[in-house]
Amino acid sequence: MVTQRHILITGASAGLGRALALAAAAPGAVLHLSGRDAGRIGAVAEACRARGATAQGQVADVRDAAAMAAWIAGAGRLDLVVANAGISAGTGGAVEPAATARAVFETNVTGVLNTVLPALEAMAAQAPGPDGLRGRVAVVASVAAFVAAPGAPAYCASKAAVQRWAEALDATERRRGIRLHAVCPGYIRTAMTARNDFPMPFLMDAEEAARRTLAGIAAGRTRIAYPWPVYWGARLAGALPLGLRAALFNRLPAKAAQLDEAREQGPG
């Protein structure tokens, strides 16, 4: 159940972001949705309005700090901000190109900073809501945050960075009446994962991932990781000795080297 009324979601035109927007859409809800494709984000906003919500679609690039700050400042009250926009790429079994590493970090880390930092300041200046909080921020990471897979070094590292940052921030931002949530999904059926040429255990629909994400936020969990078998599998793999882990992962199929430029699919 979604208790927040004023919600902002980045990367909302596809994948998990779209599913979250539709799950939150209801009479009385005010949704601010961003994506990079005008047609797709407009269609999602229209679908949310059909469910009774007030919804506005915004073409925005999370890498643009000034544009993101201006958009967030002009949104009015924000009860929940979901920093969902992200991209994915692997090595394809080769060396990860420098341009790929920079692109992944620029969107998955800098883009999250460009979303969360202005949101925190906006929330700190607003009055507490019915739940006693000034606002909540959910950062979409991945179970990939818990294992350094050689097949996707920049992706794993970028998700680890934002997962650790969100969890650390939660402890201090509570003093200002703000909660942080690190969302760590496993494999979600999206256009991003459709390119994966390897088994994806417990692959779930975006709608189910959205349900679990919103349920975790409602329950007040700082870390929202699902499904449990994939989460604990990643934790166990991450705890292996470095040499053994590298040897194991080097025997497995690597994530495709093609850089996903959608910036709105969610975890890969």
| Higher per-residue pLDDT: 49 or 191 | 49
* DSSP class of 230: H
Whether 119 contacts 77, CB under 8 Å: no
| pLDDT for position 57 | 97
The average confidence (pLDDT) of the chain is: 89
Long-range CB contacts (< 8 A, 24+ apart) of 235-242?
235/146, 235/147, 237/146, 237/147, 238/146, 238/147, 238/148
Q: How buried is 49 (Cβ within 10 angstroms: 0-12 exposed, 13-18 middle, 19+ buried)?
A: middle
| pLDDT for position 94 | 72
Catalytic residue among 155, 187, 226, 231: 155
For 108-165, the pLDDT digits (tens) are 999 999 999 999 999 999 999 998 999 999 999 999 999 888 888 999 999 999 999 9
| pLDDT for position 161 | 98
For 7-16, the pLDDT digits (tens) are 999 999 999 9
pTM over 0.85: yes
231 is catalytic: no
Q: What is the chain's percent helix, strand, coil content, to nearest 5?
A: 45, 15, 40
